[in-house]
Chains A and B, each alone.
Chain A
Amino acid sequence: MNRTMKTSTALLIALAVVGVLAPMTGLYPQFLMKCVALALFAVAFNFFTGNVGLLSIGHAAFFGMGAYAAGYATKEWGFTPELALAASLVVGIALGLVMGGMAIRRQGIYFAMITLALAQMVYFVCVQAPFTGAEDGLQRIPRHSLFGVIDLSSDLMMYAFVLAIMIASVWGFQRIMESPFGQVLLAIRDNEPRAISLGYDVQKYKLSAFTISAAVAGLAGGVKALTLGFAGLPDAHWTQSGNVILMCLLGGLGTPLGPVIGAILVVALESRLSGLGVVQIGPVTLDLSSKVPIIIGLIFMTCVLLFRRGIVGEISAAFASAKARRKSVADDEKKSVAS
């Protein structure tokens, strides 16, 4: 195994360990499961936008529809969780192919705007369609037994199930990126004209990446619906698209684990802030729960202005420059020894 594969395996193991140990720290299972769902969403989004370099502002469509699909299948058709999540995947793939197919020919900003507008169409469909339950959404989605036999009614079991799904997905994405397919994606991101001149059908590659990303985003929505027990309009709203972008930006776009860290941070921040309620800072009394969007927005702006590489990005950059400094010091020493 070469060095990158070793690092990524190590990271994966670290993630698994953290995931397994987390419930023991006394954090609420609901919180943990929300983290898992959104981390999966962020990883899916990052796979496309981070590795292909095209911004999609429409991923909420996949997340929301995935949530509805799993919720509806479980509630109305009695699907067991693995089938319900399969439904989410299928919905994600279908939607991804359609939306991606329409948007993929365009570059940069146009691509972003088109994904946004198409996602908005999906949102309006959700508002009006009978199966979504409109404003109320799908509530009290039951937890059937996994494969018909494993009881998921305990939060811990459910958490273990979805944690496994998330780890498997992160592993899956790592393998994809290490494969030739992944390398071509990176080549397209760095220099599309060159990739075209090398004979690659870039549109097909981009569309495939988009569809995979959409599928897993749908899966994430399904996970959210099954673990938290409800699916609603906010899941498909464009602010959810903005949310996932923030998570990746904060954690580090394009890095393998950045999105996970970003997702955990954002979920933690939102729940902490709402939880704090009214707070006294010096002479000023602030009701923090209503100020969540303001704070999120400020973090967004600060990240973009000062902190673009995200947490993981900044850390790896720091490591890289430290290594470079050590190397240049070593080189200088070699030179002085030689002369």
Chain B
Amino acid sequence: MFDIPLQVLLGQITIGLVNGCFYAILSLGLALIFGLLNVINFAHGALYMLGAFGVYLAMQKLGVNYWWSLLLVPVVVGAFGALVERLLLRRLIGLDHLYGLLFTFGLALVLEGIFRDIYGSAGLPYPTPPALRGLVDLGFMRMPIYRVWIVGASLVVCFATWFLIERTRLGSYLRAGTENAKMVQALGINVPLMVTFVYALGAALAAFAGVLAAPIYQVQPLMGSNILIVTFAVVVIGGLGSTAGAIATGLALGVIEGLSKVFYPEVSSTIVFIVMALVLLVRPAGLFGREA
């Protein structure tokens, strides 16, 4: 087992870390939305896909470059999310979780269907932005600069989100709202607005991940579905209690997945689910979860 060249091992670990970054950003958004809205956002994958298509279309149709897209696409998708919440999702408040899940499932079908209809199922290429091409020499290995960028940008965004939730006033409203939304409203805080904001934030985070993903994964309509189910498993493993926990779980699972590709490739597509099954047996609320 140990005669695997170090290069290969480190290479897979870094790929795993990159995947882990996506899991972290996406599961953070999912956990936020679930915490406050009590909705399993099945459309999360589609929002991620919208981010990737956003940056692709921005370049193709509007000639907007990567850096501007990085800023604008999440905002646009976030606004779309806010609209969906305000006009449609809101009508499902107070109903069983089932309906929020089914509604967002339908939304995902529609979004993916539209893009599949227009662009087919094949992947569209998006070029790595010029500033981020090439390799960087880390001494023990050489890594594509773009991957370093992904890890860096993701960690910054994750940290910023964590800071927002754990250290700001708005974050305390959010955390209190997750516990008891009616009480928070009775104390004078505009909870419905907060709910719209959280859904928009989740959507923006997903889109951001999509923009990051465009140059390294193919931009294709089903890219969201593929990653969504794994992300659900990540959220179940991490549990819904800790922002930092969600981030750490995402990163860790990405690395575990990468490692499994080196040592036991047949299992790599299911390893996350296996971990989930194991975690659930031992800690039913997830690693960092709070409710039993």
Check B99 for interface membership: any CB of A closer than 8 A: yes
Q: Which residue from chain A places its CB closest to the CB of B109 in the assembled complex?
A: A297
Q: Does A22 contact B (CB under 8 A)?
A: no
The smallest C-beta distance from B201 to any residue of chain A, in angstroms, reads 20
Pair B91/A305 contact, Cβ less than 8 Å? yes
Contacts of B92 in A (CB 8 A): 304-305
CA distance A300 to B99 in the complex (A): 10
Residues of chain A lying within 8 A (CB to CB) of residue B232: 113, 116-117
* A-B pair number, CB within 8 angstroms: 114
The 0/1 profile, CB within 8 Å of B marked 1, for residues 277-313 of chain A is 0000000000000111110111111011100100000
In the complex, are the beta carbons of A118 and B97 less than 8 A apart?
Answer: no
**Is B109 touching A114 in the complex (CB atoms < 8 A)?**
no
| Docked-complex contact A301 and B277, CB < 8 angstroms | no
Q: How far is the CB of B56 from chain A (nearest CB, A)?
A: 20
Asked whether, in the complex, the Cβ of A294 is within 8 Å of the Cβ of B236, the reply is: no
Docked-complex contact B97 and A301, CB < 8 angstroms? no
Interface SS of chain B: helix
Whether A320 is near chain B, meaning CB under 8 Å from some CB there, is no
Indicate if A328 sits at the interface (CB-CB under 8 A). Answer: no
A303 to B88, CA, bound (A): 12
How far in angstroms is the closest Cβ of chain A from B44? Answer: 13
Interface size class of A (residues with CB under 8 A): 35 or more
Name the B residues within 8 Å of A238 (CB-CB): 229
Q: Are B109 and A293 in contact (CB under 8 A)?
A: yes
A308-B235 in contact (CB<8A): no
B284 contacts A105, CB within 8 Å? yes
A117 vs B229: C-alpha distance when bound (angstroms): 7
Q: Shortest beta-carbon distance, A128 to chain B, in Å?
A: 6
Which A-chain residue is minimally distant from B91 (CB atoms)?
A305
Chain B neighbourhood of A300, CB < 8 A = 102-103, 105-106, 109
- Extra contacts, 20 of them, besides A114-B280, A245-B102, A308-B95 (Cβ < 8 A), are A55-B101, A102-B277, A105-B284, A108-B96, A112-B97, A113-B235, A117-B232, A117-B273, A117-B276, A124-B273, A125-B270, A242-B109, A249-B102, A294-B109, A294-B117, A297-B105, A299-B106, A304-B102, A305-B92, A305-B103
Partner-A contacts on B (CB < 8 A): 34, 38, 40, 88, 91-92, 95-99, 101-103, 105-114, 116-117, 229, 232-233, 235-236, 266, 269-270, 273-274, 276-277, 280-281, 284
List residues of chain A with CB under 8 Å of any chain B CB: 55, 57, 102, 105-106, 108-110, 112-114, 116-118, 120-121, 124-125, 127-128, 238, 242, 245, 249, 290-294, 296-301, 303-305, 308
A–B pairs, 24, beta carbons within 8 Å: A102-B277, A102-B280, A102-B281, A109-B97, A110-B284, A113-B233, A114-B276, A114-B280, A117-B236, A121-B270, A121-B274, A124-B269, A124-B270, A125-B270, A245-B102, A290-B116, A293-B109, A294-B113, A297-B107, A297-B108, A301-B107, A304-B92, A304-B99, A304-B103
